[in-house]
Each structure stands twice: as C-alpha cells, then as structure tokens.
C-alpha cells in the first residue's frame, strides 16, 4: 500500500512539474477567490462575513503547497517573496498609511445635497485624484461625501459614481494618480506624458459620467421628500497636518525612482522603495500620535475596512502570480489565443491593447497587467512615448479606466464599498456592481476606442 501511495505521489509531482506554470490549472486558486467574493455574499453572506479570511487563506496555502510540491523550496520562496514582499507589503503599507492619515482629517461639508452640489463634489474629487492618488483622494473624500448625503434615501448611485470617477478615472493624469502610470514612470515614461496624452480621453470619459450622474441624481432627488430647511454651503476642515502627510506620501512616490540601487540581495526593494515604505510608516505614526482622538471618534474610525482589504488582497496577490506569469509568456504560453491578435505583423493595434489591458485589469492587479502589455508593445519607453504613443495611451487608459469594472479592479474600490456598507449604504453585490459598470461605462469606452484608438 505504501509503495503504491509513493508511486501516485511521484506521478502527481511529475505532472505538476511538467506544467511548470504553463497550464491554466494554476489559475484555479485565483478563480476560486474571485467566485467566492462574487457568490458567497449572495448565497451565504453570514458564512462569508465570518470566514472570508479562512477561504482566502485556504486558496493561498493550496497554491503555495502545490508550488512547493512541484518545484521545491527555492521557487516557493520566490513566489512568496515576489507576491508578498515585493508587491503586497508596499501595497498594504500605502493603503493602511493613507487610511490612517485620511481618517485623521475631519472634513464636514454642510450643504443641501442637491444634484448640483454632489456633481461639483465628484468633479473636485476627480481632479484631486491625480494629485493625491486615487487611494488618497478616495480615503479623504468618501466619508464626507456619505455624511453630506445622509438625508438622501437613494445612495447607491452616489457611491458607484464615486468609485468610477474618484477611485479610477481621475487618476490618469499623473504617475502618482494610479499605480499603472507609476509603473510606466519607473520604466522611463516622462512624468508629464500622461497629462499631455491622456487629457482628452480623461475629458471624454469623466465629463459624460458627471453629466450622467447629475441626471440620475436629479431623477432620484425629485422623487424624495424635499428638506424644509435650506442649508448654505459650508466646509469645515480639521487636521491640516495630516493633509501635509498625504502630500508627503505623494512626494515619496515621486522620488522613489531617483534611488534605483538595491542595497540587499534577498529583497528586490531599491533604496527608493525602502525610503518610500519606511517614510509612509513614519508619516502614519506621526499622524496617529499627533491627531486628537476626538477627530477619529467623529469620523467613526474603525479598522474593519483595512482588515478586510488586507486579508482578501493578500490572497489575490499570491494567487494571481501564476496568471501574470502565464500572460508574460506571450505567444508561447497558454494565453497565446488572447495575445497573438494584439499585433498585426510588428504593428501594435491600440484598440485591442485598450480592451485587452482593460479586461484583465478589471480582475487582476492593474499595475503588473500594465507592465505585461507595456512589454508586449515593445517595452522601449522612447518609442512608446513618441512613435507608438497611441498604443501606450491605450494601455494606460485600459489599465486605469477599466479598474472601475469590478470591486477588485483597483485598490480603493473594495475599501470604498466596505466603508459605504459600514455607513449603512446597501451596496450592490459583485455582479450587481458589474451591471452598473457595464451599462454606464461600456458605451463610453466604445466611444473613446472609436475616437482615439
């Protein structure tokens, strides 16, 4: 019996080794997490709320164990280092740090939440996203936006459009706006290239979305009981030092590529990465220690949103690694049916790059997805920023804009959903939100494909 068991084990190990991250079977852990996020809240919400961390951990440990069994300790350590240390740790430092700093800022907008006021609020947030980053702008503005609209009966559309505009579309004008553009900056794309080449697609998406929001909000406003007391527009702001801390995070992000040396061999962090990550932690601690407790209490500070994002995205970063590896194999990998149509001869097709990058960015981490298609298009920053600027614009817009298609498409989306639920907003399910995105965003993306790509 024991020899037979050993033979079966050897056979399975050989099968896994032959796969060598070239089989679509390695995508199953990620797909399991994705389907769990989509279906469990619908069919077993109580179980999911209590045990989502265990489900994500099971999928992650399963992938790590399979990697160790098939390839040994070295490749398993490489997977863990690449997923958790190189990518997840900086991500959660950034998200957690900005969450603390934003929660230590008290913004009160005292105004009647009319469609015009809400539209102006979203317009300002969309513009700020390219200065503070989508995460920073979303964390600073989402609670004031919800609190300003407390008297409104219908609030789902408010948060959905907030995710579309502030957490995604608004980040396309600078490298600090969204992670994919920062990856391009690190790979040699000039700092002001996004502002020069993405401003028109930005206007053609954000302006119609703001108009659509105004019309939808106006429709709801007319059908809700009108408040009897008129409130003048007043803005109260407390915690100015924390705003400087957020701007400090932006500055740290900008200076990161200026120190590209790697001081240690066991980690791929450069000196700039270390400065940024340590700097964010220091700024977050400074914010936490110097801000009066009353401000956090008034903001209803709670660690739950960060904990949920931390647990779920740890699993996503681990289980998405084989998929990104499969995609990086290009025409030689199992996704060749997907990638071989992106080029006609040696010429990239911008429209196809826009939709391919966007389709994957809606479900995978949009930063490495951007990098993969950046290299599919040749990988030369000088050529891509000049001769093939339309292709790079297509990749950039796809990665930034289509992160709005799902809750996991971009880091702030899931955080905003959780914060809104904590404030009593009945947010749509995973597929319900996708329904909103398909109806409102697909026509706009089709329009800019025809117009620009």
Closest CA to 14 of 71, 62, 57, 64: 71
Domain ranges in the chain? Answer: 53-452
Please give the helix or strand (H or E) that residue 393 lies within, else none: helix 389-401
Handedness of CA 24, 29, 33, 36 (dihedral sign): positive
pLDDT of residue 215: 94
Q: What is the 3-state secondary structure (H, E, C) of 185-201?
A: HHCCCCCCHHHHHHHHH
pLDDT of residue 149: 87
Give yes or no for a contact between 102 and 246, defined as CB atoms under 8 angstroms apart: yes
pLDDT of residue 305: 73
The CA radius of gyration of the chain, in Å to the nearest whole number, is 23
CA 309 to chain centre: 11
3-state helix, strand, coil in the chain (%, to 5): 75, 5, 25
DSSP string, 55-78: HHHHHHHHHHHHHHHHH-HHHHHH
Q: pLDDT (tens digit, 9 = 90+) per residue, 237-268? A: 677 788 788 888 878 877 877 787 888 777 77
pLDDT of residue 25: 78
pLDDT of residue 231: 59
Please give the model's pTM, rounded to 2 decimal places: 0.75
pLDDT of residue 15: 47
Query: What is the spatial distance between Cα 207 and Cα 213, in angstroms, rounded to a whole number?
Result: 10
Query: What is the spatial distance between Cα 434 and Cα 422, in angstroms, rounded to a whole number?
Result: 21
pLDDT of residue 18: 46
CA 248 to chain centre: 21
Residue stretches of the chain with pLDDT short of 50: 1-6, 8-9, 12, 14-18
């Amino acid at each position: 019996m024991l020899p037979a068991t050993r033979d079966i084990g050897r056979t399975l190990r050989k099968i896994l080794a032959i796969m060598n991250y070239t089989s679509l079977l390695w995508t199953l852990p990620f797909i399991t997490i994705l389907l769990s996020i989509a279906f469990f809240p619908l069919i077993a919400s109580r179980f999911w709320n209590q045990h989502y961390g265990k489900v994500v951990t099971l999928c992650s440990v399963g992938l790590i164990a399979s990697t160790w069994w098939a390839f040994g300790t070295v490749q398993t350590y490489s997977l863990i280092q690449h997923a958790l240390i190189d990518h997840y740790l900086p991500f959660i430092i950034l998200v957690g740090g900005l969450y603390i700093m934003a929660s230590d800022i008290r913004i009160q907008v005292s105004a009647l939440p009319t469609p015009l006021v809400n539209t102006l609020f979203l317009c300002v947030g969309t513009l700020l996203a390219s200065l503070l980053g989508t995460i920073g702008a979303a964390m600073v503005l989402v609670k004031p936006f919800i609190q300003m609209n407390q008297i409104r009966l219908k609030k789902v559309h408010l948060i959905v459009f907030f995710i579309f505009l502030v957490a995604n579309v608004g980040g396309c004008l600078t490298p600090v706006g969204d992670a994919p553009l920062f990856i391009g900056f690190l790979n040699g794309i000039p700092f002001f290239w996004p502002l020069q080449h993405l401003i028109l697609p930005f206007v053609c998406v954000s302006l119609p979305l703001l108009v659509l929001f105004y019309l939808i909000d106006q429709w709801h406003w007319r059908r809700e009981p009108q408040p009897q007391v008129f409130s003048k527009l007043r803005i109260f702001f407390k915690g100015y030092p924390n705003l400087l801390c957020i701007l400090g995070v932006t500055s740290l992000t900008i200076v990161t590529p200026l120190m590209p040396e790697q001081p240690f061999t066991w980690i791929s962090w450069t000196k700039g990465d270390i400065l940024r990550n340590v700097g964010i932690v220091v700024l977050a601690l400074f914010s936490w220690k110097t801000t009066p407790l009353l401000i956090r209490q008034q903001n209803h500070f709670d660690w739950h949103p960060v904990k949920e994002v931390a647990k779920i995205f740890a699993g996503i970063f681990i289980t998405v690694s084989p998929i990104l590896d499969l995609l990086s194999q290009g025409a030689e990998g199992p996704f060749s049916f997907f990638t071989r149509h992106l080029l006609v001869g040696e010429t990239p097709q911008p429209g196809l790059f826009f939709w391919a990058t966007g389709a994957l960015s809606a479900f995978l981490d949009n930063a490495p997805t951007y990098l993969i298609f950046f290299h599919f298009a040749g990988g030369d920053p000088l050529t891509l920023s000049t001769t093939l600027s339309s292709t790079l614009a297509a990749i950039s817009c796809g990665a930034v804009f289509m992160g709005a298609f799902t809750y996991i498409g971009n880091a702030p989306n899931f955080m905003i959903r959780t914060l809104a639920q904590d404030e009593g907003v009945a947010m749509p399910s995973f597929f319900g939100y996708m329904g909103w995105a398909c109806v409102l965003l697909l026509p706009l993306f089709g329009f800019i494909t025809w117009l620009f790509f």
